[in-house]
Amino acid sequence: MPLEPSKQLDTFENPKPERDYEIDLECPEFTAVCPLTQQPDFAVVRISYVPDRLCVELKSLKSYLWSFRDEGVFHEDVTNRILDDLVAAIAPRRMTIVTDWRVRGGIHTVVTARHPR
């Protein structure tokens, strides 16, 4: 079955829930659309988490990030949305999302959001 863009995040059982351990995922192929200018934006998305009962499945994560390709998103908002969606899907013990955006107007922007707190 071919991969498609999708907001659906699949999960699998954490193979070692009795231990706190970290999973770091770097996804350098994120693109969305600037809602003000309708022009494409590009970012590297970094996801770090300590799983509780569930881990996020990588193919569905790829489809999830792909699903923003034609959406208009603000940098701050989309970072928090990715965090909210992943927290809703896998309820990690801890999670950090970093979005690192290509220069716009001579300014390089990085947004970092953490769960909990």
Would you tell me which residues interact with its own copies (CB under 8 A)? 2-4, 14-16, 19-29, 31, 37-40, 42, 51, 55, 58-59, 61-62, 66, 69, 74-77, 79-80, 83, 102-115, 117
User: For its own copies, which is the closer residue by CB, 71 or 110?
Assistant: 110
Per the residue annotation, which of 41, 70, 84, 85 is the catalytic one? 41
The smaller minimum CB distance to its own copies, of residues 16 and 88, is found at 16
Contact criterion met (CB below 8 Å) for 115 and 94: yes
Output DSSP code: residue 70.
T
Q: Which position has the token pair 């940098």?
A: 75
Q: Strands 54-56 and 40-50: what pairing?
A: unpaired
34 is catalytic: yes
Q: Which of 10, 27, 34, 52 is catalytic?
A: 34
Q: Shortest distance, CB of residue 62 to its own copies, whole angstroms?
A: 5
Q: Report residue 111 as tokens.
A: 């947004």
Rounded to whole angstroms, how far apart are CA atoms 2 and 111?
32
